[in-house]
Structure 1
Amino acid sequence: MQTKTLKIIPLGGLGEFGMNCLAIRWEDDILVIDAGLMFPETELLGVDVVVPDISYLVENKAHVRGILLTHGHEDHIGGLPWVLQELKVPVYGTEFTLAYVEGKLEEHKMLDEIDLIEIQPKKKFTIGPFTIEPIRVTHSLVDCVALAIDTPVGVIIHTGDFKIDLSPPDGKPFDLHTFAEYGKRGVLALLQDSTNVERHGYTPSEWAVKPRLDELFSRTQKKLFFSCFSSSIYRIRIALELARTHGRKVAVIGRSMNESTEIAQDLGYLDIPPGLIINPGQLRDFPPEKLMLLISGTQGEPMSALSRAAVDTHKHAKIEPGDTVILSSRIIPGNEKSIFRVIDHLYRRDANVICDDGSSGLIHVSGHGSREEMRLLINLVRPEYFIPVHGDYRYLRQHAQVAEETGAIGGAIVIEDGDVLEVNQQQARKNGKVTAGRVLIDSGSTIDVVEDLVIKDRRTLSEDGIVLAVLALNKKSGLVERLPEVVMRGFGGSDITEPAREVVMRCLDSLSPEEKADYGVVKEKVRVELKRFIQKSTGRRPMIMPVVMEI
């Protein structure tokens, strides 16, 4: 009778959306699946990203054999630079995923320190007691895989993010056959993506957006701005094909969009005909009706290309009356205000703005499977134990209920970050907890572990102080009514208040009237300029809080 157990330990992503990270342990060997991040809530002042607390992995670093990546989205790979500071272990991923990882590690000057090992669907490899087979799945990103891991007590399958698309634009469909083969052989546990459990039916194929987009391309009389997630290679491919069909030249605008299209082209996921892409500096050489701008910034990020174009401060992307802007993406919860603010600015420019309102054809489809796809996969795999992953607790609970309703599983178990689930062929049970939680990261700082925001605020105030920049702006004219007040507390040494006021004034003077009317942009630009000036002058990184007063 098998008495040893396999331990499944989620460290992120079960109880929240984002920062997906899960450990699998057999005796003295640990595999890690994904190392993602999440973006902070608005109340986390000064925090740029949030990554999982990997104290458990650090305590057991001698036993960690590698990190397996399912795909290249930020919520699955974004935490790697911080995780790899603590764990110098090999990273396994598909070709496209590793191309994204290389860029991240190069940015953090870590590329030479880490072994990146390419994996391919249907090609098994072994790490310690584990034999892993990547299985092709479809998602909103290309080159995504599920992981079938053969352990001493049985096979567990982690789906990663998926939807079942049998005719994706790259011609590499979801591999239902391999999932079915594993189902025939017997699967101990299935860990399945819960993201869309509240959606009934099936998620449409990526091709479903093409008819509506084709119609929009055909009726657009002037310039066409097309914005989607820079990682949505399928969507970019469809947009480029339509641009070519409708006789439009394409300019790629925005750093992330440029990087993604270059990687996709290099790896053969985009076949761009010669002459289709033009340099942004050539936009003036073509009539508006012959142009499409593929532009990043679909979530209304303050400094993104689309946000700057919306307030007419982008060097190349000029939005003029009658231009059409297509936002081919979903609104990520928490981004509503910034997105609607950008849309407001677009309307001020008399642009035609097309969002995914669902009223007249699809311009965006999800990358996650809906309930019927979840049921289909569960019925194919027929696992002994079902474990929902990815999402808030209510999603995990609903997903467990959906799995139980199929009648194709032995039992469903809901676990959260830090739970230790012990599994073998006889039983599965929760047995204790490990440290799990969030690590708050300030851009440019070393890893800063805090368990409570209040503690972090107190530490920041005690060590580096606080800066209040009080700005008085005329609501109607946008003019600066009086000199800004800069209040500094917790600083020693020379008085830099007056130079700081001059920095704020120069920053305000550089803003356009439309930017001054957008207090979100004003605050962010003032914060960035003050942060740069104070860090250069004093070496301190205080909490900077711009306050705008309407006069």
Structure 2
Amino acid sequence: MRDNLRTPPKLAKDTLRVIPLGGLGDVGRNMTSFEINGKILLVDCGVLFPDENQPGVDLILPGLHLLEGRLDDVVGLVLTHGHEDHIGAVPYLLRRNPHIPVLGSKLTLALVKEKLKEHRIREVSLRVMEDGSTSKLGDFDLEFLAVNHSIPDAMAVAITTKAGRVLHTGDFKMDQLPLDHRLTDLRAFARIGEAGCDLFMVDSTNAETPGFTTLEKDIRPAMERVFAKAQHKLIVACFASHVHRVQQVMDEAVKAGRKVVYVGRSMVKNMTIAQELGYLRVPANTLIELRDLENYRDDEVVIISTGSQGEPLSALSRIASHEHPVIEAGEGDVVLLASSLIPGNENSVYRVINGLTRNGVKVVHKGNALVHVSGHASSGELLYCYNIVQPKNVMPVHGEVRHLVANAELAVATGVPRDHAIVVEDGGVVDLANGKAKVVGKLDCGYIFVDGSTVGDLGDAELDDRRILGEEGFISAIAVVNLHSGEVVSGPQITARGFVEGDKVFDDITADVTRVLRDALADGAEDTYQLQQLMRRAIGRWVNKTYRRRPMIIPVVVAA
């Protein structure tokens, strides 16, 4: 890996240029650009959710700015599956160019369609692809392959161009007994390998995990025990897109004679779509509305909720903090967190667990019971795929740097030459020609922040200000001066928020600030901006020395 790469050269004829616009270096905002002979194909268009160091940010988009001026060259967008980190940014792309055709499976496009409705984007081209189907977009010949994941209808895509053949797995695993009986199409993987795979782009999320990912069906005994022991209220929290997990909960609820109620807007929307399309089987008289919950005893209902990642505004977080308008959880109740822990969400999840436990709730999670399995291939499965496909070049995708490196090492262990196992982060530019992939440059693929209705206007400077306000507090200082007489007419009046109990602590510094202003005026200062900076420095030095803190300081000097 190299961070000091140059700007990439002009793309040569019949050479395929691959640029990750997101998802390589972090878990989210997955998107990759493929370009050949002036035309671009995009694979996935997801979002990344902010962490605690990004206050006020709603979503983080992939590097859409790298497509500025080139959107008319985009021949299509391929979506591998319907998770937010792969489809969440689609509206923000189509808002820029609604004429880009979008290809994906039936469930994936149904979820996208609902998302586009929310953004009031209409008149778009959504093309449903089935397992084994093919399509041609410009110089790109596409073949869609079934893969198993934690959401139905996930697909890998084989991309054939004049420069060679690429196999992009998307997110996948190799569950041999999947709940929906839809296996990862290893025969197609082998066929592509025999025809010649020039670049294998492989899911890296579990590359550090030894062996094989546990089968989905193997969590059933633990879930049965949870249902058997729950004598009161039972709440199951999982991803709003995890249809398989909801199906398992639904089946156990029916066996236990419990009704099911969805809580959380995204859960209601996604599961309604899944049921309408036949991906979720819901027996008659099983579902009830949230408003009808009061008509049933606690032991007659199971609540399926959002919030498994501790999202502050999610249903589960509100339940834990006694802020939900309908649902309470207390002594004797059980909450089942049927999900994995996404890196970066640890503090938020443990905060919810602690809140629930403090209320007397029994919390069952992956750390103390086998109630969730990953949707990603572990190292044993990845080795298996490398041996089947026997690619000429490998480019790990989807994961943090440690995952990408671990995945590349697996490829090398199976015989891929080390210089053909390419590890790049977002913005890395890889050219494929004559059977060889090589890194030729790097582009700035920084974060695009969504903050309310604004997109891309929020930058690092504003985030720094927000962090300082949240962690260090705010001090304002106002003074009125007469530039002609050189006198301080009023003030300085110093006040603070989020810093100390009262403003009297600033009595010690007020005289010093006044003296600084008078000395500057005596020296002929006629610029209020200069006086403001002198006030800022004087207050800042005192605060740092006295309290060892660096609050935001806003000085205001008014000329009388």
TM-score (norm 1): 0.80
Offset at residue 432 of structure 1 (A): 2.4
Confirm or deny: 8 A CA contact 1:189 1:383 kept in the other structure. yes
Offset at residue 468 of structure 1 (A): 9.0
Q: Which residue of 1 aligns with 2:85?
A: 75
Match of 1:448 among 457, 463, 467: 457
Query: Are residues 1:236 and 2:246 paired?
Result: yes
Q: Which residue of 1 aligns with 2:317?
A: 307
Q: Which residue of 1 aligns with 2:442?
A: 433
Q: Which residue of 2 aligns with 1:104?
A: 115
Q: Which residue of 2 aligns with 1:47?
A: 57
Aligned-partner residue type, residue 447 of structure 2: R
Q: Which residue of 2 aligns with 1:523?
A: none
Confirm or deny: 8 A CA contact 2:102 2:125 kept in the other structure. yes
Q: Which residue of 2 aligns with 1:527?
A: none
Q: CA RMSD in A?
A: 2.7
Q: Which residue of 2 aligns with 1:418?
A: 427
Distance 1:101 1:487 in 2: 47
Match of 2:380 among 362, 366, 372: 372
Q: Which residue of 2 aligns with 1:495?
A: none
CA distance 1:148–1:245, shift in 2 (3 Å):
same
Report the 3-state secondary structure (helix = DSSP H, G, I; strand = E; otherwise coil) of the residue aligned with 2:429: strand
Q: Which residue of 1 aligns with 2:233?
A: 223
Q: Which runs of 5+ in 2 are unaligned?
A: 1-11, 479-496, 498-551, 553-560
CA distance 1:268–1:27, shift in 2 (3 Å):
same
Report the 3-state secondary structure (helix = DSSP H, G, I; strand = E; otherwise coil) of the residue aligned with 1:366: coil
Distance 2:334 2:463 in 1: 45
Distance 1:234 1:488 in 2: 58
Offset at residue 441 of structure 1 (A): 1.6
Q: Deviations over 1:174-201 (max 9, x none)?
A: 1111111111221111000111111000
Offset at residue 324 of structure 1 (A): 1.0
Offset at residue 21 of structure 1 (A): 1.0
CA distance 1:426–1:143, shift in 2 (3 Å):
closer
Offset at residue 281 of structure 1 (A): 2.5
Confirm or deny: 8 A CA contact 1:383 1:409 kept in the other structure. no
Aligned-partner residue type, residue 370 of structure 1: S
CA distance 1:426–1:374, shift in 2 (3 Å):
closer
Q: Which residue of 2 aligns with 1:152?
A: 162
Confirm or deny: 8 A CA contact 1:379 1:408 kept in the other structure. no
Distance 1:299 1:120 in 2: 32
Q: Which runs of 5+ in 1 are unaligned?
A: 472-484, 490-500, 502-544, 546-551
Q: Deviations over 1:506-531 (max 9, x none)?
A: xxxxxxxxxxxxxxxxxxxxxxxxxx
Report the 3-state secondary structure (helix = DSSP H, G, I; strand = E; otherwise coil) of the residue aligned with 1:82: helix
Count, aligned residues:
467
Aligned-partner residue type, residue 303 of structure 2: L
Query: Are residues 1:120 and 2:127 paired?
Result: no
Query: Are residues 1:60 and 2:67 paired?
Result: no
Confirm or deny: 8 A CA contact 2:20 2:426 kept in the other structure. yes
Report the 3-state secondary structure (helix = DSSP H, G, I; strand = E; otherwise coil) of the residue aligned with 2:394: strand
Offset at residue 337 of structure 1 (A): 2.4
TM-score (norm 2): 0.78
Distance 1:339 1:394 in 2: 23
Query: Are residues 1:90 and 2:113 paired?
Result: no
Distance 1:185 1:468 in 2: 57
Offset at residue 222 of structure 1 (A): 1.4
Identical counterparts, % of pairs: 38
Distance 1:265 1:51 in 2: 29
Q: Which residue of 2 aligns with 1:137?
A: 147
Distance 2:457 2:382 in 1: 38
- TM alignment of 1:259-270, pairs within 5 A: 259-270=269-280
Query: Are residues 1:384 and 2:395 paired?
Result: no
Distance 1:205 1:252 in 2: 25
Distance 1:79 1:116 in 2: 15
Match of 2:334 among 324, 329, 337: 324
CA distance 1:320–1:47, shift in 2 (3 Å):
closer
Q: Which residue of 1 aligns with 2:510?
A: none
Distance 1:81 1:257 in 2: 20
Report the 3-state secondary structure (helix = DSSP H, G, I; strand = E; otherwise coil) of the residue aligned with 1:256: helix
Report the 3-state secondary structure (helix = DSSP H, G, I; strand = E; otherwise coil) of the residue aligned with 1:59: coil
Distance 2:42 2:254 in 1: 43
Q: Deviations over 1:329-354 (max 9, x none)?
A: 12222222222222222123222111
Offset at residue 119 of structure 1 (A): 1.2
Confirm or deny: 8 A CA contact 1:70 1:145 kept in the other structure. yes
Aligned-partner residue type, residue 461 of structure 2: V
Q: Deviations over 1:347-381 (max 9, x none)?
A: 232221111115xx410101111000101111111
Runs of 4+ in 1 over 3 A off after TM superposition: 455-458, 466-471, 485-489
Distance 1:390 1:128 in 2: 26
Distance 1:423 1:470 in 2: 49
Distance 1:488 1:258 in 2: 50
- TM alignment of 1:344-355, pairs within 5 A: 344-355=354-365
Query: Are residues 1:30 and 2:37 paired?
Result: no
Q: Deviations over 1:203-262 (max 9, x none)?
A: 012112111101111121112111111111100000000010111111111111111110
Confirm or deny: 8 A CA contact 2:13 2:36 kept in the other structure. no
Confirm or deny: 8 A CA contact 1:9 1:419 kept in the other structure. yes
Distance 2:224 2:67 in 1: 49
Offset at residue 173 of structure 1 (A): 1.6
Distance 2:248 2:435 in 1: 49
CA distance 1:309–1:456, shift in 2 (3 Å):
closer
Aligned-partner residue type, residue 421 of structure 1: V
Distance 1:21 1:310 in 2: 35
Report the 3-state secondary structure (helix = DSSP H, G, I; strand = E; otherwise coil) of the residue aligned with 2:54: coil
Larger Rg: 2
Offset at residue 487 of structure 1 (A): 8.3
CA distance 1:113–1:402, shift in 2 (3 Å):
same
Moved more, 326-335 or 232-241: 326-335
Confirm or deny: 8 A CA contact 1:213 1:363 kept in the other structure. yes
Report the 3-state secondary structure (helix = DSSP H, G, I; strand = E; otherwise coil) of the residue aligned with 2:396: strand
Offset at residue 153 of structure 1 (A): 2.7
Report the 3-state secondary structure (helix = DSSP H, G, I; strand = E; otherwise coil) of the residue aligned with 1:389: coil
Aligned-partner residue type, residue 101 of structure 1: V
- TM alignment of 1:503-522, pairs within 5 A: none
Offset at residue 128 of structure 1 (A): 0.8
Q: Deviations over 1:62-103 (max 9, x none)?
A: 311111111111111112222222233111111111111112
Distance 1:433 1:220 in 2: 54
Confirm or deny: 8 A CA contact 1:469 1:486 kept in the other structure. no
